[in-house]
Amino acid sequence: MKSSRIIAALCAAATCAAVMPLSSFATTRVWNGADGAAWNGTEQNWLDGETPAAWEDGADAQFDAAASVTLAGNANAGDLTTASTLALSGPAQSTAFLNSSSPTLVFPGITLDEISPDKLAADITGSVMGSQLHAANAYHYRRSGTIATAQFQAVYNGHLRCVKATFTESADGVKAQASSPTYYIHKDNGGASKLGVDIDADPNALAWGTIVSANDGSGGLGIRNLRGAWPIIRIAGSATLGGNVTLTNTTVELTAPIAQTLNRYLAGANDGISAKGLSDTTTDKTFGITDPSVAGASASWLTDTANGTVFTNMVLSRTTIESAVLRGKYISTDTVATPQFVTFDGEKMTCQLQEQGSSYVRGVVIELKQNGANVHARWVGGYFLQPGKLGDDITTGSAYARNLYGVKSLTLRTVDVPSLVFGGTSSPASLVADNAQIVLQNNLTYPRNSLVARNGAQVLLTSGGGANNNGSERTYTFESGSVLAVLVTAGTDGMAKFVFDNSTLYTPLLHAGWQDGNTTIRFLTLKNGARAVGNPLRCGDVAWMEYSSEGTGTNELASGVCLYFFNNAQSQNNTFCLTTTADMEVSGRIQDAPGYTGLPVYKRGAATLILSGANTFAGQFTVAEGMVELASDTALPASAPIALTNCVIACKAGTSNSTGVLTLSGNAALSLGEGSALAFADSSAAIWADGATLAVTGPDPLPARSLRFGTTDGGLTDSQLRQVKYNGRRVWLDPDGYATRQIAFVMTVR
């Protein structure tokens, strides 16, 4: 079989009944399964047996009968048409032995893009492993351009053994070699318990220095039987599936532009499905309005109260309003308007469409809202301002009715990527969207192990079916400007790990009863300027839930979080953790679900957690590391107990917060910005760690009414007061509980 990296344009729907060859492919290869000359319709590559093993590179492949194809390397097809079942399979593994002297071709015909790090595994062997093969998973896969590294780790006799491998791209595929020295961790220094540790960073890692020198297993440590990347069949035309397609150790890549709906089963063991676009483009899309009540303009959706579909399979968070044409009784000719005051809150987008008329500035306010996979729109109001006011807030002017000021057409700009819709029951092991749109129409199409979206891709979940329906330990990774849009009021897989690297999580729909987006996420990582927008994410009823901030820059949790605490023995130790190795701003609300209050919130990590939303949760807020910046008057919940240790609380200038009881579990610092205030509830009954100090800094002298404990001078005990220092000096409480540098003496005359 020929291998090629040529990616041709793909178009046509998968529901077509017949083969639709693209003009760029000259031949159609037909497998009839009936005679020795299995491929018909061409004079090349005839087979002697009745199982096709190859087709002409780039030709259309038509299977009129059941078939089984073994892929020795990558293959390219134009259209793929099946009348019955088709089995595609690749080799289970590379049996090559890896040494340190020269790279060995391990995955022919692919690139590093096509390696699945979560499936990468091998066998470690050598004299220190009893000269036996020991299965080793890959940890800490790191890639830089055309080079990647991974640590293959296994345990033998309580010791952790590690062989590092380096992967490089070549014209023939991916090559690999072992790196010298190899490493181990003695069982006295953690050994087996350290499985998965970053061997490069662990001080207990010891260099072994010997790599197996021959295939007989002699020497120290070496790698055999590398596995985790499979041959790819690239379909550059339509995939018209008349029967199920079973994939084994094989990836099917659909190249773009893609316009397909796959309703047949397309999955198997160690399989993968990839949708790949050819370029990253944006497209202006114009919607025309047809409402007879607006002279010369209209749209059935453009009414005061109703919403109507503007575009299908569109993600509003990636859409901008370019322009509009206004028309109406008082706008008698088509008039181009420009967008002003565009706002987007994660659920809806509002915009003022303004134009400078001969006598007035005229405008229409519209609202766009995500509704499932579609974007709906409605007319909100018409207004006018005096001349010269173009760009001012149009709603401060006089209001006009819809039949006087209307919108004839609206032009939006959206990221235009090819689309692949999964409407059947295919649940591939891995799913990749590379500059493409993937639409998962039911929970039976969610990938079993991993999902990767990159290069501006977007993944739309348009149907759910409840959380935890798809197993555990899966990972959803979004990179380089991609987006996950959860467009259904049903939970995703609650055990999955979600990683957003310079990408966006979008939850626009609202569960009216619980006031959240009904999207269950237990493990969420935001990296390198990633954002979560929309309605609050749901988190609760499991022992440990963690949202992490990593990379560079500030990540933002604009959606907020809705916490569920089930007050029973099973959930008493449940905790929601915010881990910051990079700064994170939580601009959305952290709230309790109605009737489920009390879930503890825990902050760790050296970087800053910026709280700028209106937080209302009632569980204890423990700050164990780093800094928390209070950036709004509602940053701290009004009644939640606060526990501090090893941390800094910084009150942004001008903010004022009131919160619950303070527990000092270790040394902590409190910084009061200019004009800020912070009030704790009466904390005299709280247990403060002996010798711990609360070091408060701020303007000198201590501003009046800026720091408070309770509402009386008994808000802290004398012992606790001695643990509080303001700019290095002791404080007291006045009769209203405010910290002061003045000693108050009260004389009672009887």
496-512 confidence digits (pLDDT tens): 789 999 999 998 887 77
Q: Give residue 561's pLDDT band: very low, low, confident or very high (50, 70, 90).
A: very high
Compute CA distances 52 → 34, 38, 666, whole Å. 12, 7, 71
Q: How many distinct structural domains can be found in the chain?
A: 3
Q: Is a pLDDT exceeding 50 seen at residue 564?
A: yes
Tell me whether residue 388 is in a domain: yes
65-107 confidence digits (pLDDT tens): 777 777 766 777 888 888 888 888 877 667 777 877 788 888 8
Rounded to the nearest integer, the mean pLDDT of the chain is 81
**DSSP per residue, 263-309:** -S-EE-TT-EEEEE-S--EEEEEEEE---TTBTTB--TT-SSS--EE
Tell me whether residue 747 is in a domain: yes
Last-in-domain residue among 205, 227, 249: 227
Backbone dihedral region for residue 358 (phi beyond 0: left; psi -120 to 50: alpha; all else: beta): alpha
The answer on 400 and 285 residing in a single domain is: yes
Q: Give residue 142's pLDDT band: very low, low, confident or very high (50, 70, 90).
A: very high
Q: Quick check: 621 and 601 in contact, CB under 8 A?
A: yes
DSSP-based three-state secondary structure for 119: helix
Tell me whether residue 347 is in a domain: yes
Q: Which residues of 367-398 are buried (b: 16+ CB within 10 A; e: fewer)?
A: bbbbbbbbbbbbbbbbbbbeeebbebebeebe
Tell me whether residue 372 is in a domain: yes
Identity of the highest mean pLDDT range in 471-480, 511-520, 685-694: 685-694
| Res 499: pLDDT | 94
Tell me whether residue 48 is in a domain: no
Tell me whether residue 247 is in a domain: no
| Res 257: pLDDT | 65
Burial of 214 from C-beta contacts in 10 A (0-12 / 13-18 / 19+):
exposed
Range of the domain at 133: 104-227
Rounded to 5 degrees, φ, ψ at 722 are -70, -15
Q: What is the H or E stretch that residue 538 is in?
A: strand 537-540
269-291 confidence digits (pLDDT tens): 878 888 888 665 666 677 665 44
Q: Which of 143-147, 269-273, 292-296, 706-710 has the lowest mean pLDDT?
A: 292-296
Please count the CA atoms within 13 angstroms of the CA of 372 that sit on its side-chain side. Answer: 15
| Res 247: pLDDT | 85
Last-in-domain residue among 227, 242, 269: 227
Last-in-domain residue among 399, 416, 433: 416
Tell me whether residue 532 is in a domain: no
Tell me whether residue 251 is in a domain: no
